[in-house]
Amino acid sequence: MSKKNRERRTGEGGVEPAAGGGGGGLNWLPVVLAVGALGLGFVAWTDGKRIKDDTARRLFDIDQRLIQLQTQVANAAKARPTPQQGPDPNKVYTVKTAGSPFKGNAGAPVVIAEFSEYQ
């Protein structure tokens, strides 16, 4: 190669670039950054998948425990009847009505007594 051609290629009489260090060489920084980003993305994806699977398993366990508690509460409610409040509707109570005002026949077989307060 002649001196004139070399000067034309390198510019204004400058030094010829070293082999592999200039114009057509591959810059490794973007490649390294891209590979690093892909690696970090893969790690984040696997962590997210693990967290999702762990959360799904824990929710399934909670659902199973809830079903067990519901059956225990239902069985306990069936085993123990609720206590009845108020008077027993099957019991016949005797009420003394002698000397009280009344309407109808005094010797009727059924007597309906009303208790009220006038205030």
**Is 64 inside any structural domain?**
yes
**Is 10 inside any structural domain?**
no
Say which residues have a Cβ less than 8 Å from residue 13's Cβ, sequence separation at least 6: 7
Cα separation, 21 vs 28, whole angstroms: 12
4 versus 54: the higher-pLDDT residue is: 54
Mean pLDDT of 69-74: 94
Return the pLDDT at 18: 53
Tell me how many domains the chain contains: 1
**Is 63 inside any structural domain?**
yes
**Is 26 inside any structural domain?**
no
Q: What is the pLDDT of residues 95-118, one digit of tens each?
A: 888 888 888 888 888 888 887 887
Cα separation, 68 vs 59, whole angstroms: 14
User: Chain-wide mean pLDDT for the chain?
Assistant: 83
User: Residue 9: pLDDT above 80?
Assistant: no
**Is 69 inside any structural domain?**
yes
Return the pLDDT at 105: 87
pTM above 0.85, yes or no: no
- Residue 66 sits in which domain range? 49-77
Q: Do residues 113 and 95 lie in contact, with contact meaning Cβ atoms separated by under 8 Å?
A: yes
**Exposure string for 10-23, b = 16+ CB within 10 A, e = fewer:** eeeeeeeeeeeeee
29 versus 17: the higher-pLDDT residue is: 29
**Is 59 inside any structural domain?**
yes
Cα separation, 56 vs 6, whole angstroms: 69
Structure tokens at 111: 């007597």
